Amino acid sequence: MNIVWDRGEVTVGEAWKILSERRPVARNTVQTMITRLAEKGWLRARDDGQAARYSAAQPRGRAMGSMVSRIVETAFRGSAEGLVMALVEGRGVSKEEADRIRAILKKAEEGRP
């Protein structure tokens, strides 16, 4: 999805080329992944006469919010606190990240977006 969000629109071949520069991956694997994302409504397909071009069905921020909400509901039984604890204890956060998180939480407490 990050490739699609970064580029706006890609063909399977373009996505495969970008991914294969990062790690070995079969073109068929990329095709299957893109097909499944389209079937699940994450991607939209447009035929340009040569190949299908895929774009994101939702902007990155909205999609990420939806994914995180699902994770909170399923893995953490609706507890945002549980998600944050798992993140901090499992991965850790830098001082800079902690400062930004505190600022976000302060805005939320004050009712600001």
- Domain regions of the chain by residue span: 2-56, 60-109
- Span 59-77, pLDDT tens digits: 999 999 999 999 999 999 9
pLDDT at 112: 73
Q: How far are the Cα atoms of 2, 3, 9 from residue 6, in angstroms, in the given order?
A: 6, 5, 8
Q: Across residues 89-95, what is the average pLDDT? A: 90
What confidence score (pLDDT) does residue 113 get? 65
CB 55 within 8 A of CB 43: yes
- Work out the mean pLDDT of the chain and round it to a whole number: 93
Say which CATH architecture domain 2-56 belongs to: Orthogonal Bundle (1.10)
Whether pTM exceeds 0.75:
no
